[in-house]
């Protein structure tokens, strides 16, 4: 049985083993929201199926609106790819390079290598490895993360 995930912009994730079970969970959340004046936005909600084929022929609704099935879901800063539930590291790598380049630009050409290394480890490494405890990376994605870190060392120590 495929595991189905419902995501809402309010950072709520619902997991169910069937579309019927997921619809029941959504109905409970909607009922709770009505009681406490919490509005869920169907346009900011996504569905994905992990561990199997997406049941696109099953309609799941929120507030009477049919929700869309996605192949990738962003949740708490992590992009999860459907089917295998692997994390897409490209966002983390992009933030790493952005922060890295900002630090080097501020430090200029006459920078102290050890100071640059300290700043990179303090401010860039956390953005590269954010939530890495939850990651399930392919060897190709793992290599991309390693390459980003190695490129930073090469740039700091002028070892192109």
pLDDT in tens, the chain (160 residues): 455 555 555 678 888 888 899 999 999 999 999 999 988 888 888 888 877 766 777 889 988 999 888 888 887 778 887 676 778 899 999 999 999 999 999 999 888 999 999 999 999 999 999 888 878 788 999 999 999 999 999 999 988 7
Residues 58 and 113 in one domain: no
Residues 71 and 11 in one domain: yes
Q: What is the pLDDT of residue 142?
A: 92
Q: Last residue of some domain: 81, 106, 126?
A: 81
- Two structure tokens written together for 36: 């406490």
Q: In what order do the strands lie in the sheet with 72-75?
A: 72-75, 78-81, 87-88
Structural domain count of the chain: 2
Q: What is the pLDDT of residue 9?
A: 59
| CA atoms of 51 and 112, how far apart (whole Å) | 49
| CA atoms of 18 and 140, how far apart (whole Å) | 32
Q: What is the pLDDT of residue 10?
A: 64
Q: What is the pLDDT of residue 136?
A: 79
What are the C-alpha distances in Å from 140 to residues 12, 79, 88, 135, 148? 30, 16, 11, 13, 13
Q: Are 86 and 138 within 8 A, CB to CB?
A: yes
Residues 29 and 77 in one domain: yes
Residues 61 and 102 in one domain: no
Residues 97 and 38 in one domain: no
Residues 37 and 95 in one domain: no
Residues 13 and 77 in one domain: yes
Q: Last residue of some domain: 27, 46, 81?
A: 81
Q: What is the pLDDT of residue 3?
A: 53
What are the C-alpha distances in Å from 131 to residues 76, 78, 118? 9, 8, 21
The residues, any chain, with a CB within 8 Å of residue 14's CB and separated by 6 or more, are 5, 6, 22, 25, 26, 29
Q: What is the pLDDT of residue 1?
A: 43
Q: Last residue of some domain: 65, 81, 97?
A: 81
Residues 48 and 93 in one domain: no
Residues 129 and 148 in one domain: yes
Q: What is the pLDDT of residue 6?
A: 59
Residues 94 and 129 in one domain: yes
- Overall pTM > 0.75: no
Q: Are 22 and 14 within 8 A, CB to CB?
A: yes
Domain with 63, as residue range(s), is 3-81
């Amino acid at each position: 049985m495929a595991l189905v995930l419902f995501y809402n912009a309010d950072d709520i994730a619902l997991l169910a083993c069937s579309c019927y079970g997921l619809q029941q969970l959504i109905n409970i959340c909607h009922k709770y929201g009505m009681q406490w004046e919490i509005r869920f936005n169907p346009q900011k909600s996504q569905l994905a199926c992990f561990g199997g084929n997406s049941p696109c022929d099953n309609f799941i609704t929120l507030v009477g609106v049919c929700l869309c099935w996605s192949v990738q879901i962003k949740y708490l800063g992590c992009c999860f790819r459907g089917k295998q539930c692997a994390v897409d590291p490209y966002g983390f790598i992009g933030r790493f390079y952005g922060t890295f380049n900002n630090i080097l630009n501020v430090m200029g050409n006459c920078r102290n290598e050890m100071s640059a290394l300290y700043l990179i480890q303090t401010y860039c490494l956390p953005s590269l490895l954010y939530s890495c405890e939850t990651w399930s990376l392919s060897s190709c994605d793992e290599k991309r993360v390693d390459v980003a870190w190695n490129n930073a060392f090469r740039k700091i120590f002028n070892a192109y």
